[in-house]
Structure 1
């Protein structure tokens, strides 16, 4: 295996839960030396999120936490003590990136804001993830994932038209913010390598969610149309959605004239492609025709087959996919071929979790390690990065700094 692309990059991860830990984990997967910084008496509370693995008491670990903190090393620092603040500044001098997900202003109140930290390392990339960003009238408001979905517009357009809006069924605000933070961090790192100057990467959950609303913004700004819940339908593309079959549901997206003709042939009715009521994409886009003619035709075809049969029939010709449950995805041979389910040690057991979707041809398969216990590597990291000996480290322990 070639050297991992971020080998030699040191990241200080001062984040909790998912928006932040996921960003730092992606950097760790790519080879960065990621150091998870936690308070010695108040570690990341995601360690208390289920599901749990292991025996009773101290042997129990959170698989949720491990999934977003693999490949990191752990250090304990009390950033509210003078010694702890000084220690972080020393570590910043050895780091390339610091990631934090506090409310804007929190690090400044601790005396550890970007303006202070860059005095100790002008090349520092300071990545800050928050609900509303570091500027604007709402920047100091608290936020969770649901906050991002609510204020970014996504919640208002998800669900069914005859029911109240529904949140997306995953923490997409946290995840999207982490992905954008990772992109921004890599861009800022490249700039720092070229110029010798670091900068702040400012990522907001609200901003991140807004970019996931597809055509909702331009539909409003150009036509005054307000996106609303559509269930499994697309605003204008038809047929393009969920359809029932013998043993579940499939997604079918054969809306172009080419795909529609192939579909009619596949089900033994090629003449339907020339039916003057539905023979063009524009006609099939019409909501009334789609519901009165196209949907009943498709449901009649699909009802005779199971998900796997339909996928096999469609093959590489027509966009038709089974709507899989999570167990079906985990056991999917294609997912296995892509190495997207990996085994990570958790509490002495091997736990399957999602792998890295980033595949690099020259680097090869990237090895993945376990998540750290709270402060697991404190002593070794302080010796390695700062050259502290055992007596110096013990004094920090005795003073409550670590």
Structure 2
């Protein structure tokens, strides 16, 4: 099987994926789902002491979801022969993605300058915890550490609760997506210049960028964001309220939504109350307003409020568990989940690409590869004959 073409959009590009854990694989998955020929390059078993973190359980849901539509080549880059194989791959590649500590690529001799000497059109995407230089460049970067340093944990959770991590890998996943966008920009620019370039994305910078309006409020108005629980920092009424059989998420910010909200609940006195006259006043008097809304919501079930408010054009929804989420009619309509049967005969379930292209959509063509599953065929593609491949195996290079 010479190539896995998930889709047509990026099928002319080859990507060498040296990344591990989450941010890098998230980046490369985006390219693989839209048809790039992605080669996942990983050390042979027993080389990396941390391999259990990123390679051991190939059939786990997480590994499968992160690494579908890729081929796998084992390669020991710490050996001269392994490095030579990698450089041969670079000659015909378009993109290399890595998320090592910044000094590692220089020590191995696969930094941008070294790669560009082999292939001036190569694009190197480097993902790190804290950036490629600076006082923290050599620190190991994990998502939760960066959530704390990037401000997210200070605004997550209930007031005075203390810092709380978000329930998903915000820094990792968003950095992967920013890096993928950077790669696509570099590929577009290369069409004009004919030259590749080095791009880097860090978890810390990305996490701060994801703070978005919270960070901008502080920089421009000096407004220090704090924990407000399920309320919104600058809008009201927005937040979580308890109906008599569950929770309702309400988003009635803005004057138009506020008026429709009062009308749909048959509470005209709220809209004429001087303490609720403007958004700022509703934020200032949030406690009283939330108390009155809570009393009203407790009268009826969640479904009633969701149907009533959405019919009135007021944003509102239930709060699902993960199993309930996948049972939702709109989620099913969007085909968020897709199953593929892996070589062990078991259906594995994958999250489809949320961005839809009408003519060249991303697709799931193949499960995540076994460890080094495509090593021999990939070596053959770059000119190694059977005897040379056997020799690389004997030396422990692959």
TM-score range, shorter chain: over 0.9
Equivalent of 1:218 in 216, 219, 243:
216
Which residue number corresponds to residue 327 of structure 2? 331
Cα distance in 2 for partners of 1:27, 1:305 equals 47
The answer to whether structure 1 residue 108 and structure 2 residue 103 are counterparts is: no
Matches within 5 A, 1:3-402: 4-41=8-45, 42=47, 44-47=51-54, 61-286=59-284, 289-292=285-288, 294-316=289-311, 317-346=313-342, 347-364=344-361, 366-384=363-381, 386-402=382-398
Residue 364 of structure 1: how far off its partner (Å):
4.1
Structure 1 residue runs without a partner (length 5+): 53-59
1:326 to 1:268, Cα distance in 2 relative to 1, 3 A: same
1:370 aligns to what SS in structure 2?
Answer: coil
Q: Is the 8 A contact 1:131 1:147 kept in 2?
A: no
Query: Any idea what the Cα deviations from partners look like across 1:110-153, whole Å, max 9, x if unmatched?
Result: 12211111111111110000001112221111111112112212
Residue 198 of structure 1: how far off its partner (Å):
0.8
Which residue number corresponds to residue 57 of structure 1? none
Residue 268 of structure 1: how far off its partner (Å):
2.6
Tell me how many residue pairs correspond in the alignment.
389
Cα distance in 1 for partners of 2:37, 2:192 equals 21
Structure 2 residue runs without a partner (length 5+): none
Q: Is the 8 A contact 2:239 2:249 kept in 1?
A: yes
1:5 aligns to what SS in structure 2?
Answer: coil
1:393 aligns to what SS in structure 2?
Answer: helix
Cα distance in 2 for partners of 1:272, 1:255 equals 14
2:115 aligns to what SS in structure 1?
Answer: helix
Cα distance in 2 for partners of 1:247, 1:83 equals 65
Moved over 4 A (4+): none
Q: Is the 8 A contact 2:20 2:54 kept in 1?
A: no
Cα distance in 1 for partners of 2:152, 2:88 equals 42
Residue 2 of structure 1: how far off its partner (Å):
11
TM-score in terms of structure 1 length: 0.91
TM-score in terms of structure 2 length: 0.92
